[in-house]
Amino acid sequence: MRTAARPLLALGTALSTALATAAASSPAGAAEPRAGGPGAVPRPVAVSGPSPFAACTLDPGTDQIALNAEVEPELSVDPRDDRHMVAVWQQDRRSSSNSRGVVAAVTRDGGRTWRRDVVGGLSLCSGGGQDKAGGPWVSFAPNGDVYVSATTRTYASDESAVEVARSTDGGRSWGKPVKVAADTAGVYWHDKPSITADPGDPRRVYAIWNRRTVHQDQHDVMLARSLDGGRSWLPAKAVYRSERPDQGTLGNQIVVLPNGSLVNVFLENEFPIGGPPWPPADLPEQVRAIRSGDHGATWSRAAVISEHRLNKPVLPDAGTPVDASGIIPDVAVDRRTGALYAVWAQTGISTSDSAVALSASADGGRTWSTPRRIDHAPESAKGGNGQAFLPQVDVADNGTVAVTYYDFRANTPAAGTPTTFSMATCRGASCASDPARWRERRIAGPFDIENAVKWNGPFIGGYYGLTHTRNSFVTAFVMANSDADDKQDIYFARTPASPGVRH
């Protein structure tokens, strides 16, 4: 069906590859907003740069393309050498969602410099036949192999797919992506995959996501497994079905406990994955967890971590939406003790009506603590400067828990909406029950979020990367720029993995 397009595809791919090589020849610089004030960490480093797809002319449809705009980075650290990290993200955001392709960046000096390259074969602009790609996720295996998962959409064949690419050289090059699921989009719609390489066994890799049966509006959590280090994949299977036919799951993410058990955490609500028909009811959101003690062969019933209402951040001065609701929770595990921590954003726990909640489990995800607000955004009126949103969580090797988030505390009545990126940290058994134990440090900003690309409001993504090295937390996140031709970039920051002090 695409024979006639091959000469153009080859030309676009060659141009994209040349631009990617040119971009990679000069390491990413540090011309970005400065972190400052009490508790500040060294200024972030810019990881992304000029789009490698600038010369691509193969875009289908009438989408507006935000050239040079990046969203939804993920970050993983090589367990054999924590100076070696790989970040991935959506490149050139499209107005109908997703992007023109997935870009990866590699550092081997702890984040000071980065080399960028395209993960090939995931879109027309990156040498594949798919029209667009989105939702990238990255994970290092204990042997140094790197896995990237993403969704792809192909209009000519009406295909919705989940694909996985593997690198055996630490992210310098990528093998041909494997479709672990591919269906007619009008029948099954695949969304928001994540990928987890088992930290204790390089043979085992897990990809997990939501699949919507469109005409029945039925949703299943789908799991694909590799038992041979990504060389082959077992057929994807459903491991959880939403109790209501009009409810789906988002943000499925597997973590592996020290004993090898798997825990998948997700949000369940009536979000219409894949578009209409629209759900008939506005239901409470639930953060839930399912467990597997046999490497994903069988799974438990779902435990409820929280039932709440979704936060809907707005620009404090204008009251118009910011596309940064808490539809994607995050989860992390303490590799020493097996303790689990989950975070999300919600209403009802702050006067601003958008705040960060945390819950913990000490029994492998069977039961969870009462959710507590742990961000340090100042209290404000509803929709005011105290709104906090887009949290991520991680646990360092020494047991320190870190939660990052954005908020509007720096906003003033002047034009624009200054936005701050901060981290709260805590260590000890009472972190989940005593919010006063958390200490905060500023990581970056403020930057004006109104400069970001628009998708139901300013959009910097639904998630970003937070993980750790031996003695530091490291994060890859988005900040908006003042350049209309380069609306936002991916930045990297490092901060000590300590509980912090009160500021």
Q: What is the CATH number of the domain that holds 364?
A: 2.120.10.10
Quick check: is 405 in a domain? yes
User: Cα(458)–Cα(6) distance, rounded to whole angstroms?
Assistant: 36
Beta-ladder partners of 472: 496
At 314, give phi and psi (nearest 5°). Answer: -135, 160
Quick check: is 403 in a domain? yes
Residue 8 pLDDT greater than 60, yes or no = no
Structure confidence at residue 37 (pLDDT): 43
Quick check: is 297 in a domain? no
- Please report, for the chain, how many H helices and E strands are present, in that order: 1, 30
Biggest CA pair distance of the chain: 64
- The range of the structural domain enclosing residue 452 comes to 309-497
User: Cα(461)–Cα(477) distance, rounded to whole angstroms?
Assistant: 9
- pTM, two decimals, is 0.92
Residue 321 pLDDT greater than 60, yes or no = yes
Residue 36 pLDDT greater than 80, yes or no = no
Quick check: is 327 in a domain? yes
Q: pLDDT (tens digit, 9 = 90+) per residue, 87-137?
A: 999 999 999 889 999 999 999 999 999 999 999 999 999 999 999 999 999
Quick check: is 296 in a domain? no
Q: pLDDT (tens digit, 9 = 90+) per residue, 11-21?
A: 333 333 433 33
Quick check: is 137 in a domain? no
The letter for the amino acid at 491 is: Y
Structure confidence at residue 5 (pLDDT): 31
Whether the CB-CB separation of 320 and 447 falls below 8 Å is answered with: no
C-alpha angle 222-85-121 in degrees, rounded to nearest 5: 55
Quick check: is 169 in a domain? no
Q: Band of the pLDDT at 272, cuts 50, 70, 90?
A: low
Residue 490 pLDDT greater than 70, yes or no = yes
Q: How big is the chain by its Cα radius of gyration, in Å?
A: 21
Structure confidence at residue 392 (pLDDT): 98
Measured in Å, how far apart are the chain's first and last C-alpha atoms? 62
Q: pLDDT (tens digit, 9 = 90+) per residue, 219-259?
A: 999 999 999 999 999 999 999 998 777 788 999 999 999 99
User: Cα(40)–Cα(440) distance, rounded to whole angstroms?
Assistant: 10
The CB density around residue 74, as the number of other CB atoms within 10 Å, is 24
> Which contiguous run of DSSP H or E holds residue 17?
helix 6-25
Residue 15, helix vs strand vs coil: helix
- 436: CB partners within 8 A, 6+ apart: none
Number of structural domains (the chain) is: 1
Quick check: is 438 in a domain? yes
Q: pLDDT (tens digit, 9 = 90+) per residue, 172-198?
A: 999 999 999 999 999 999 999 999 999
